[in-house]
Structure 1
Amino acid sequence: MRISTAQFYQSSAANYQRNYSNVVKTNEEASSFVRVNTAADDPVGAARLLQLGNQADMLAQYKTNATNITNSLNQAETTLDSINTILTRVNELALESGNAGYTDTERKAKAAELGQLEDQLLSLMNSRDENGQYLFAGSKTDTAPFVRNADGTYSYQGDQTQLELQVGDMLKMAGNSTGFSVFQQALNTSRTETTLATPAVDDGRVKLSNGQVSGSVTYNDRFRSGQPYTITMLSSTQFSITDSLGNDVTAEATQGGTFDPNTAGGSVVSFRGVDLRLNINLQDGDVPDTAVAGHSFTLQSKPDTINTTRSPGNPSSAQVTSASITDPAKYQAMFPNGGAVIKFTSATDFELYAQPLTADSRPVASGTMAGNVASAAGVDFTFSTTPPQQSGDQYMVTVDNHQTQNVLDTVAQLRTALSKPIEGDAAAYQQLRADLDSAIANIQSGQDSLSTAVTDIGARGKALEIQQATNESLTIANTTTQSSIRDSDPAEVVIRLTQQKAMLEASQTAFARISQLSLFNAL
C-alpha cells in the first residue's frame, strides 16, 4: 500500500495533535486533580455527580430548615417556661388569698399583682420571633393570637395549623406550637354548675358551690349520663341526690349523703367525679334541721354558650344581640362542633355553614327570618332591627362548651374574685373559697397543658437531633462519593502525564526524522 506525502503529513499532524491534547488535558488535571469537568469526560460519572449534587443541595436545605426549627422550638420552650413561672406565682397568690385573716385591702393588693401578672401572660402568649412573627398564632403569623374582649374575657385569633418544614427525605417537622393546643385546651375543672331551686328566694342558709371536676373519666362515664341532678337537703346533716329519671343515687356521694355542718370552710361533697363545697349558715333562733330541710339545688354541666360576631366586611352594620339554644336535641344533632357561619343570601333568607366557609361548603341549615330572629339547627339568633341585614352579610358563631378554659380567663376570674369586698359576709367568703378552689384547679390544669406542650417540644427536638445526625452522615457519604467520581488519583495522574509527555516527544522526533526522508536523498 502506498502512502502519499499528504497522507503522511496529515497522519503525523493528527497523531501529534492528539498527543499534545492529551498532555494539555492531563496537565490541567494535575493542576486541579479534578477528573470530571464536563459530561464528555465521563458521561456516567457526570450523571451520577448531578444526582449527588441535587442530594447535597437538599441536605443543605434540610440543615437550614433544621436550624430554623431548632431556633423556633428553643424560643417557644423559653417562653413557655416563663409562662409557667408566672402561673406558679398566680397559684401562690390563690393559696395565700384563702387565709381567713386577710382583709379586703390585702386581697385587693393580691388582685393588683394578679393584674400585672395577667398583662405579662398576655404579652408572653403574644410573643414574636426574630422576624416579628407571632409564635403561637398557627399560620396567622401576622395576627396577635390572643386579644382581650370588652367584657374582660380573652379570645384566640389564630388557627390550629402547624407550620412544617422538610428536615429529611421522609420527615417533616413542625417548628411551632399553636396557642389553641397549648393554652385553649387546658381542661376546665369548673364545668358544672349548681342552681338553687328551692326556696325561690335565696335565704342564705345553705350554700352549695359549683362543682369541680376531680375525675374526668368518672365525670364523662357516669355524671353526664344522669344529669341534671337534684340535691335535696333532708336535715342539717343529710342530703339526697336523684338523677334526671328520679333514681336515688345518694349512695354514690361522700359518706352516703351525710356531712358535718361544723366543718371549717364547709364540707366537701364528692359525687361521680365532681367535688362540691357545702356550707350551712344558720341564723339566730334557727332550729338547724327545720331551717335547712327542704332546700334543693339542680346540679348539671354548664350549658354551651354561643357567641356571635359580625364580619367587618358586611354590607350592613346589623348585629346579633343574643343567641340561645331553643331545641337541645336538634342543636346536639345538627349544630357544627367547630363553630359556624351565618350567611345571608337576601335581606331575610340565610344559610348556616360549618367553619371554615369555603367555595365548596354546603349549608348545614337554611331558613327565613321571622321578624328579627333567625332559627337554625336548634338555635335562635336575634338581630338588631336597624339597620336591616343585607345579602352577603356574614356572622361568625363560636360555641363555648366549657370543657376547656384559657389560663388568661382563669387569672382574670381570680383577679375579679379577689377584688370583691367580703368582710363580715359569710356567704361572700364562702363564694370566694369556691372561686379559689376553681382557680387553683384550673391553674394546675393550665400548667399540665404547658407541661404537655414542653414535652412535645422536647420530643420534636430529640427527633430533630437524630435526623440531623442522619443528615450529617449522608452529607459526609455524599461528599466522599462525589470525590471518588470527580477527583483524580494524584500518583496516577503524574505517571500518566509522564507517559504522555514521552509519547509527545517521540511523535515529534519521529515526525522530524521521517519528514527529512526524500527520494532525492537516495540518488
Structure 2
Amino acid sequence: MRISTSQFYESSAANYQKNFANALKSSEEASSLVRVKTAADDPVGASRLLQLGQQASLLDQYKTNSNSIKASLGQTESVMTSINNVLARARELAAGATNSGYTDADRQANASELGQIEEQLLSLMNTQDENGKYIFGGSKDDVPPYSRNSDGTYTYNGDQSSLKLPIGDTMLMAANSTGWDVFQQAANTSRTQVTTQSAPSPDNGTVFLSNGQMSNAGKYNSDFRKGEPYSISFVSATQLKITDINGNDVTSEASQNGVIGNTPNQTVSFRGVDLSLNVNLKSGDNAGALLPQYSFQLGSKPDSFNVARGPGNPSTAQVTGTSVTDQAAYNSTFPSGSAVLKFTSATQFDLYAAPLTADSKPVSSGTLAGNQATAAGVTFTLNGTPTANDQFSVSVNTHESQNILDTVSQLKSALNTPTAGNTVATQKQLADLASGMANLASGTDQLSIGISSVGGRGAALANQVEINESLSAANVTTRSAISESDPAEVMTRLTLQQTMLQASQLAFSKISQLGLFNKI
C-alpha cells in the first residue's frame, strides 16, 4: 500500500496533536489534582457529583436550621424554667395563707406579692427572641400572646401553629412552643359551681357548700355531665339528697351515701367532683329544723364571653354585657373558641367564626333591638350606637381549661377579701384557696409537659445533628474520591504521555528523511 507524502504529514501531525493534548491535560490535572472538571471528563462521575453537591447544600441548610432550633429551644426552656420557679413561689404564698394564724393584713401582703408574680408571669409569657418575635405566639409572633382584659382576666392572642423547619431529609421539627399548648390546656379543676336555691330568711350562714373541685376527670365527663344540673337538699340533720336534672335520686353515688355530720370541713364526693360542706351550728340551733331549709344547685359553670372592641372601629360603641339566651341555638350554631361580631350598618350585624377572612360566611345575622344584638343564641348588650364596619372580637371561655395568669389573679382576689370575724367568708376563702392551688398544680403539670416536649425535641435534634454530620463527612469523602486525582497515577501517566510525545517527534523526524528527494 502506498502512502502519499501529504497523508504521512497529516497522520503524523494528528498523532502528535493527540499526544500533545493528552500530555497537556495530564499536566493540568497534575497541577490542580482535579480529575472531573466538566461532564466530558467523566459523565457518570459528573452526574454523581451534581447529586452530592445538592445533598451538601441541603446538609448546610439543615445545619443552619438545627442551630436556629437549638437556640430557640434553649431560650424556651430557660423561660419555662423561670415560670416554673415563679409558680413554686405562688404555691408557697397560697399555702401559707391557709394558716389559721394569718390576719387579713398578712393575707393581703401575700396578695401583694402575688400581684408582682402576676406581672412577672405576664412578662415571661410575652417573651421575645433576638428578632423581636414572641416565642409563645405560634405563627402570630408579631403581637403579644397574652393581654389583660378590662375585667382582669387574660386572653391568648396567639394560635396553635408551630413553626416547623426541616433538619433531615424526612424530619421536620417545631422550633417553638405555643402558649396554647403550654399554658392554655391546663385543666381547670374548678369548672363547677354551686348556687343557693333556698335558704332561711335571714340566712345566718348555718350551711356553706363550696363550688365543686374536679377530682376525677373520667367520672366527671362520663357521669357528672350527663345528669347536671343537680339539686342538693337536706332531708334531715344527718342526710343530704342529690337529684339529677330528670329528678332521679342519685344520692347513692355520693360519698357515705349522703350521710353527713353537723361539723365544718366535710368533703362530699360525687361523680368525680368534691365539695366542701360546712355546717356552722351555734348554741341552741336545731340542726333538724335548720338544714332542710337549705337547697343548692350544682352544675358546670356556664360559658362566658370576653368581647374586645376592634381598634379601627368607626364608632365608640362598646359591648358591656353578654349572656346565653337560647341554649339550643348556642350549642348548635355559635362558633367554638372565638367569633367576630360585625355590623354592616347601624342596626344590621353578622356573626362569623374567627378569624374573619374575605371568604368567611356568617353563621348568624340579625337586627339590633334597642341596645341588644342577639346572634346564635347569645345576646350582646351595647352602650353607644354602632356604625357600619364596627367589629368586636368574641372569645369563649368554656371553663374546661384555665391559664396560670387567671389562676394567680383569682388567688390574689381571694386573699384580698377581708374575712375577719366572718366564719362563712373564711370558709369561702379557704375553698377559693384550695381551688387556686389545685389549678396551680394543674398549670404546673401542663408546663412540665411543655418542658418535657422541649427536652425531647432537644434530644432528637442532637441525634439528627450527629447523623447529618456523618452524612456530611461521607459526602465530602465521596466527592473527593470522584473528583480528585491520585497524584502517583497522574504523574505516572504524565511521564508516559511525555515520553510518547517525544517518541512521536523523533519518529516523525526519522521517517521524514526517508523521502526520495533525500536519495537524489
- The equivalent residue for 1:273 is 272
Which residue of structure 1 lines up, in the alignment, with residue 106 of structure 2? Answer: 106
Cross-structure match for 2:482 = 485
Q: Which residue in 2 is equivalent to 1:238?
A: 239
Question: Residue in 1 aligned with 2:383?
Answer: 384
Q: 1:168 aligns to what?
A: 168
Give the match for residue 322 of structure 1.
Answer: 321
Deviations 1:432-464 (A, max 9, x none): 110111011001100110111122222222322
Equivalent pair of 2:262/2:287 in contact (CA under 8 Å)? no
1:47, CA displacement in angstroms?
Answer: 1.8
Question: In structure 1, the residue corresponding to 2:147 is in which secondary structure?
Answer: strand
Larger deviation: 46-55 or 23-32? Answer: 23-32
Moved more, 375-384 or 278-287: 278-287
Distance of 2:80 and 2:428 partners within structure 1:
32
Q: Distance in 1 between matches of 2:143 and 2:67?
A: 24
Aligned to 1:355: 354
Q: After superposition, give the CA deviation of every residue in 1:324-381 in whole Å (9 maximum; x if it has no partner).
A: 1111011111111122122233332222221122222222122222333222211112
| Contiguous gaps of at least 5 residues in structure 1 | none
Equivalent residue runs for 1:138-287 within 5 Å: 138-199=138-199, 202-263=203-264, 266-287=265-286
In the TM superposition, 1:126-137 aligns within 5 A as 126-137=126-137
1:2 positional shift: 4.9
Give the CA deviation at 1:4. 4.7
Worse overlay, 490-499 or 6-15: 6-15
* Paired residues of 1:236 and 1:280 also in contact (CA < 8 A): no
Q: Does 1:454 align with 2:455?
A: no
Identify the range of structure 1 (194-203 vs 218-227) with the bigger mean alpha-carbon deviation: 194-203
Q: Across the two proteins, how many residue pairs are aligned to each other?
A: 519
SS at match of 1:293: helix
Q: What does residue 371 of structure 1 align with? A: 370
Match of 1:340 in 2: 339
Whole-angstrom distance in 2 between the partners of 1:183 and 1:259: 38
CA distance in 2, matches of 1:10, 1:314: 92
Aligned position for 1:51: 51
Alignment of 1:113-128 (within 5 A): 113-128=113-128
1:92 maps to: 92
CA distance in 1, matches of 2:214, 2:418: 27
Task: Tell me how far 1:284 sits from its aligned partner.
Answer: 4.6
Q: Paired residue for 1:406? A: 403
Q: C-alpha displacement at 1:5, in angstroms?
A: 4.3
CA contact (8 A) 2:316 2:384 kept: no
What code does the residue aligned with 2:490 have?
V
> After alignment, is 356-365 or 323-332 more displaced?
356-365
Q: Which residue of 2 aligns with 1:468?
A: 465
Deviates more, 1:284-293 or 1:252-261: 284-293
Question: What's the CA shift string for 1:157-211, capped at 9, x where partnerless?
Answer: 1111100101111121111110111111101111100011112764322111111
Q: 2 CA distance for matches of 1:68 and 1:221?
A: 44
Match of 2:29 in 1: 29
C-alpha distance in structure 2 between counterparts of 1:232 and 1:430, whole Å? 20
- Provide the C-alpha distance between the structure 2 equivalents of 1:272 and 1:117, rounded to a whole number of angstroms: 35
Instruction: Assess, with a 3 A threshold, how the Cα gap between structure 1 residues 249 and 488 changes in structure 2: closer, same or farther.
Output: same
Q: Distance in 1 between matches of 2:238 and 2:263?
A: 10
Measure, in 2, the Cα distance between the counterparts of 1:428 and 1:371: 40
Unaligned runs of 5+ in 2: none
Please give the alpha-carbon distance, in whole angstroms, between the structure 2 residues aligned to 1:201 and 1:44: 98
Structure 2 SS opposite 1:256: helix
For the 8 Å contact 1:282–1:291, the answer to whether it is kept is no
| Inter-partner Cα distance in structure 1 for 2:73 and 2:271 | 40
Provide the residue aligned with 1:41 in structure 2: 41
State the identity %.
Answer: 58
- Normalised to the residue count of structure 2, the TM-score between the two structures is 0.95
**CA 1:201–1:349: 2 relative to 1, 3 Å:** farther
State the partner residue of 1:418. 415
Greater Cα shift, 470-479 or 252-261? 470-479
Separation in structure 2 between the aligned mates of residue 400 and residue 236 of structure 1, nearest angstrom: 38
